[in-house]
Amino acid sequence: MKVLLGDWLESQFSPAPAIRTARTWIKQGRIFPPPTKVGRSYYVEQDAVFNDGTARPRLADRIPQ
């Protein structure tokens, strides 16, 4: 299920970074899977992960065993 970018940020970070920062991350491809833009809002999968650039996320890591 997809949630608004701001809601996802609050669930992943404490304190949550600014929306502007998250939009930069989206352009840099740091949120996996990539969010979807609908109108002015971005929607992110609830189980999406932030990739800080140290390792490339793998789809196999997201599938429950």
Here the CATH number for the domain that contains residue 12 is: 1.10.1660.20
Instruction: Provide the 3-class DSSP secondary structure of residue 49.
Output: strand
CA end-to-end span of the chain, whole Å?
19
Burial class (CB in 10 A: 0-12, 13-18, 19+), 26: middle
* Residue 16 lies in domain: 2-61
Tell me the C-alpha to C-alpha distance, in Å, between residue 19 and each of 3, 10, 16, 26: 14, 11, 9, 10
Number of domains in the chain: 1
Residue 51 pLDDT: 86
Residues 2-18 have a mean pLDDT of 95
**7 vs 19: CA distance, rounded Å:** 10
Residue 39 pLDDT: 96
